[in-house]
Amino acid sequence: MFNQNRLFLSFTTLLLIIFSSASFAQKAPDFSLQSDKGKISLSAYKNKVVYVDFWASWCKPCRKSFSFMNSMQSRYAKRGFKIIAINLDNERSAADSFLKKNPAKFTIAYDPDGKTPDAYKLKVMPTSYLIDRKGNIINIHKGFKSSHTAKLENLIVTALSKK
């Protein structure tokens, strides 16, 4: 009898964890930053799936990530997908030089003061945050390797399929 009760409690606890985890989802911190097209804020993209990426001109893996982000923005923009890549260089000229060599087909925002990465608890460059239509962070991806792109794209497609 003791083992059955213990098993029942363990099973019940597991179910509570599984079904309540969605209610404790981490909201993505809002931001308002300068972009090439004026001010941009995360809150302007409610009901969209947003991929927020932090990058800098000196970051070698960041160069590789731009090709992937260009591809994802082109493929999924019409389905409600938005990429915002936040540059963290202290000087805008460094970002401009990087972008001449690595053109972006997505929105670039600038945070030379570094307040946004603090809000996101950024530890590694680059790091991307996939945010669902409700504004919840559903995936954090640290670094960038080409071998991870299929997994990242699958996460994007899955998020886009949810209304």
**What CATH number matches the domain at 28-161, 3.40.50.970, 3.30.70.140, 3.30.2130.30, 3.40.30.10?**
3.40.30.10
Tens-place pLDDT, residues 3-24: 554 444 444 444 344 444 444 5
Output the pTM of the full model: 0.83
Q: Do 66 and 36 touch, CB atoms closer than 8 A?
A: no
Tens-place pLDDT, residues 122-143: 999 999 999 999 999 999 999 9
Over the chain, what is the mean pLDDT? 88
**Nearest Cα residue to 90 out of 69, 105, 111, 72:** 111
